[in-house]
């Protein structure tokens, strides 16, 4: 059982570059989320999706985009990377939002 798989695990970007953080889950969960984690700040919601074709903004969406073409995949796109986007990014999924989330192991992104 793979659960939630995130790639890559680490990445260094230059300012202004773009990249896509990949997230896939094999639990047939319809709800998926992207969070960023900064030291001492907890987890902040970037975007979420309650099903294929449906996405919505979370608390800190600026500078990011998402798509949800399938139930399994929920990629996060960074356009024009900025140093403020240096963070650890977590993807998570849940069954209709109940019983908490299953998290991926994270992507550590550094923008220099």
Partner 1 sequence: GQQLNQSPQSMFIQEGEDVSMNCTSSSIFNTWLWYKQDPGEGPVLLIALYKAGELTSNGRLTAQFGITRKDSFLNISASIPSDVGIYFCAGLDLMGSSNTGKLIFGQGTTLQVKP
Q: Which residues bind partner 1 (CB under 8 A)?
A: 4, 31, 33, 35, 40-43, 45, 48, 50, 56, 58-59, 90, 92, 94, 96-106
Q: Residue 14 or residue 39: which is nearer to partner 1 going by CB?
A: 39
d(CA 68, CA 31): 10
Smallest gap from Cβ 105 to partner 1, in A, equals 5
Residue (82 or 88) nearer to partner 1, CB:
88
Spatial distance between the Cα atoms of 58 and 64, rounded to a whole number of angstroms: 11
DSSP 86-104: -EEEEEEEEETTEEEEEE-
- Least distance (Å) from partner 1 to the CB of residue 85? 19
Yes or no: say if 56 and 49 are a contact pair by the CB < 8 Å rule.
yes
């Amino acid at each position: 059982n793979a659960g939630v798989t995130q790639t890559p695990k680490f990445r260094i970007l230059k300012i202004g570059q773009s990249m896509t953080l990949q997230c896939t889950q094999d639990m047939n969960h319809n709800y998926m989320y992207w969070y960023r984690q900064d030291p001492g700040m907890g987890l902040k919601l970037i975007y979420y999706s309650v099903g294929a074709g449906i996405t919505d903004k979370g608390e800190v969406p600026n500078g990011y985009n998402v798509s949800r073409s399938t139930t399994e995949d929920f990629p996060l796109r960074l356009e024009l990377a900025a140093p403020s986007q240096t963070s650890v990014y977590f993807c998570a999924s849940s069954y209709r939002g109940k019983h908490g989330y299953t998290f991926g192991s994270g992507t550590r992104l550094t923008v220099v």
